[in-house]
Chain A
């Protein structure tokens, strides 16, 4: 009986999510014409600034409540639903992700929760490939024209849909993973650094494993981050936590600090390429940081579960819209 009920629950859950995805596709198709018709409508720069500020505050609040970085919502949302050139959006997306991470790094490192050794180890492949991604973005922008733009939109759309699926089906994280076997490379590096866990009132010791595999995965994560202008915490946390078996808090804080390093390297090619406009970048930055601060306070009062579904819906809309845009460009 129990097995039957469990099976029925799983089937119902599957049907529910399928309906949700179908609805998301339908709603996204409905917005396709509306989005391409956006015009300034005599909007003054000041009104644009205030509008951007408010939108980005909302993105910042929702991002914190959903447990993702602002950049991962900002870039697909603006690329999917505004006609703004994707190179400008991606450069701004990288900048806002980096700015938020720079401000957040200090308390994590002061308390020793973010492991500086672990993050430098991960940051080497991440930074190198984030730069390669940013250079590739510049190359695509300069030499590939519409085809390149279609590729960027389509690929980012698929990645964003993939992230949404990741949230739906593989949300499981391990707070304190147990490492039963440490490979030679991981053991030799001596990455682990104990930290004081205030919620437990104890010092937490941990081991790390599969560091080489983690470094390989960070190459891919860096490339995606640099090429598409996303903060990549959504991918870094699972690599640290599920592959390298770092405690969840260490994984989350290390990923935040690593964004500040890798995205700094990736953002400069966009800046020196003239792809950033202060009128767009400054309100986005202020809005996301203010939104993050508000979200952190709201987190104690709001049910985060509902927000998570909302973010999944936004990401599905954006992803589908980006794929549609790419198909339309081909």
Chain B
């Protein structure tokens, strides 16, 4: 099963996915930390934090918490982009960037497979399917609302 020989080189598509996933996730985490610090300091909040807290502990569902803490119906889609001046929207943007890491990583992997002419091509098809699903999901096209 094992034999001594030259260390095999990992595929470029894998390396690209790993790099994109790691760095974009870290950037997203950084942004979300900045946002949450501003939010906790009390700068320009979209959701009233005390009301959110009370709502969470009271077991209220998302629609009720939105109504009470933000005085709004649930804004489906990328709601934080519409209120980006708010500190918790910045924190949410960070979460969004973090979640985008896998999407960009998957597309990067597809590009890497094409550029590197990685065979067999069936894996390019698999990667493309994943990348399309992730992009549709991130774009809000896959949603019950």
Which one of B40, B103, B123, B144 contacts A121 once the chains associate, using CB atoms below 8 Å?
B123
Stretch at the interface among A66-74, A111-119, A306-314: A111-119
> Interface residues of A: mostly helix, strand, loop or mixed?
helix
Chain B proximity of A124: nearest CB distance (Å): 5
* Given known contacts A98-B102, A111-B10, A138-B143, A273 and B21 CB-to-CB distance under 8 angstroms: no
Kindly state the interface size class of chain B when it binds its partner.
35 or more
B8 touches A109 (CB 8 A): no
Interface residues of A in 80-124 (CB under 8 A from B): 82-85, 87-88, 95, 98-99, 102-103, 105-112, 114, 116-117, 120-121, 123-124
What residues of chain A lie closer than 8 Å to B61, measured between beta carbons? 85, 87, 141
B76 touches A273 (CB 8 A): yes
Q: Number of A interface residues, CB 8 Å?
A: 84
B50 touches A45 (CB 8 A): yes
Interface residues of B in 103-133 (CB under 8 A from A): 103, 105-106, 109, 120, 122-123, 126-127, 129-130, 133
B123 touches A271 (CB 8 A): no
| Chain B 130-145 near chain A by CB (<8 Å), digits 1 or 0 | 1001100110101111
B25 touches A272 (CB 8 A): no
B144 touches A264 (CB 8 A): no
Binding site for A on B (CB under 8 A): 1-11, 13-15, 17-19, 21-22, 24-26, 29, 32-33, 35-36, 39-40, 47, 49-50, 52-54, 56-63, 65-66, 74-79, 88, 91-92, 94-96, 98-99, 101-103, 105-106, 109, 120, 122-123, 126-127, 129-130, 133-134, 137-138, 140, 142-145
Given contacts A99-B98, A272-B140, A279-B88, 19 further A-B contacts (CB under 8 A): A40-B57, A45-B50, A88-B65, A111-B10, A112-B10, A116-B17, A117-B123, A127-B134, A131-B133, A135-B142, A193-B8, A202-B2, A260-B105, A265-B142, A272-B76, A277-B65, A278-B36, A278-B91, A279-B53
Binding site for B on A (CB under 8 A): 38-40, 43-46, 48-49, 82-85, 87-88, 95, 98-99, 102-103, 105-112, 114, 116-117, 120-121, 123-124, 127-128, 131, 135, 138-139, 141-142, 176, 178, 189-190, 193-197, 200, 202-206, 257, 260-261, 263-269, 271-283, 285-286, 289
